[in-house]
Amino acid sequence: MNYKVMGIAAGRKNGNSEILLKEALMECEAQGAEMTMINLRDYHIRDCTGCTSCTKAMSEGKNAGCILDKKDDKKRIMDVMLKQDAVIFSVPTYDLMPASTYLTFAHRSLSYETAFLETIGAIEHKDRVAGLISVGGSTRSWQSMALEGLQATMFTTDLNVVDMLLAERVPGSGQCLLDDDLMQRAKTLGAHIMEAVKTPADQRQWLGEEDMGWCPNCHSNALVLGEEQWDGLHYPVECQVCGAGGTLEDDGKGGWKFVIAENGLLKDRTTVSGRAKHLKEIEETQGGFYGNPKSLQLVRERKKKYMDKKFKTIDKGGTKE
Ligand SMILES: Cc1cc2nc3c(=O)[nH]c(=O)nc-3n(C[C@H](O)[C@H](O)[C@H](O)COP(=O)(O)O)c2cc1C
């Protein structure tokens, strides 16, 4: 079988993200995959306007697409990306998190929300595999939300993350080439991607370092104190990426481990059924709002005060493209 693998970079031309990505992709190519690679910096992607016309249509059982579909390159990229068996993302870390070039691209994916579109019967389910590479000038400490930020954008299009690589201490363009272990690890990530695509979807497993991160479910390194959710569900501790709930327990070695509760994967965002529960929440909050003429009227009346209020602002100048 001919597997399709795509690489998406978002850093400098011939910089670390591109080089590490190519190292991983070359391994996939060597194993016979059909390759595609882009750098998001070469494309025009506009910001999501926040109009929510896509999800409003979905809540009425329709797939309306995005109002910007014909205005930039997002759809052109998604039409190829969604046909892939695997996608590897390689993104520089800016201010502890994925660079905005990538985030702008990712935040335009709401109109492709596969769990929502599948729920209304607009698309067929397709299992996809993902590998993530975050690249920064510092260690984990200054890349604290980098991989987690990438992970958080994978659910929308059903990308199952099987491996993640944090490239540390490579600030200079191409500096990763001086670190043989790092380059080897990128190649291994490519091999893991191929191993995963060749495995039946229901048997695919995490292939990165077994002990990576706090969360045994998604391997993120980010936990938060749980708070009561919209439907009353409450866990003492939550994984801030996948939403697994549980608590911290003594690991018997002088440290702590995150133990997922029996019902802790009820809203696991890495699964379609977990995300479909979020659709319920949206139906209740957003649907409850737009579908209630009384609340809409009240908001119209109360909003006037804020629409009429103006503060001193800043001249736009003539630089906007
Ligand atoms: C605006 C900006 C912010 C950055 N912030 C971080 C950061 O918070 N943590 C970090 O480790 N590196 C940071 N860096 C360094 C880049 O992540 C690093 O240079 C990386 O190698 C860039 O990848 P590239 O070669 O693919 O462009 C920052 C760089 C820039 C330009």
pLDDT in tens, 231-273: 999 999 999 999 999 999 999 999 999 999 999 999 999 988 8
Q: Give me the percent of the chain exceeding a pLDDT of 70.
A: 99
Backbone angle region of 124, left / alpha / beta, with phi > 0 → left and psi within -120 to 50 → alpha? beta
Residue 294 located in a structural domain: no
- Per DSSP bridges, beta strands 245-250 and 256-260 are antiparallel
pLDDT number for residue 64: 93
CATH number at residue 179: 3.40.50.360
Q: Identify the residue whose tokens are 């599948």.
A: 118
Distance from the alpha carbon of residue 138 to the mean position of ligand 1, in angstroms? 8
- Write the pLDDT tens digit of every residue in 31-58: 999 999 999 999 999 999 999 999 888 8
Residue 191 located in a structural domain: yes
Residue 290 located in a structural domain: no
Please list, residue by residue across 89-127, b when 16 or more beta carbons sit within 10 angstroms of its beta carbon and e when fewer do: bbbbbbeebbbebbbbbbebbbbbbbbbbbbeeeeeeee
Confidence of residue 20 (pLDDT cuts 50, 70, 90): very high
Distance from the alpha carbon of residue 63 to the mean position of ligand 1, in angstroms? 37
**Residue 284 DSSP label:** I
- Ligand 1 proximal residues by C-beta, below 6 Å: 11-12, 15-17, 92-96, 135-138, 142-143, 170-171, 173
Query: Ligand 1 atom 30: the closest Cα is on which residue?
Result: 94
Distance from the alpha carbon of residue 102 to the mean position of ligand 1, in angstroms? 13
Q: Which domain holds residue 4?
A: 1-212
Residue 318 located in a structural domain: no
- What is the reported pTM? 0.95
| More confident call, 259 vs 59 | 259
CA distance to 54, 106, 298, per residue, from 64 (Å):
6, 18, 29
Confidence of residue 221 (pLDDT cuts 50, 70, 90): very high
Residue 269 located in a structural domain: no
Distance from the alpha carbon of residue 37 to the mean position of ligand 1, in angstroms? 21
Residue 315 located in a structural domain: no
Residue 179 located in a structural domain: yes
**Count: domains in the chain:** 1
pLDDT at residue 321 greater than cutoff 60: no
Residue 314 located in a structural domain: no
The mean pLDDT of 90-113, rounded to a whole number, is 97
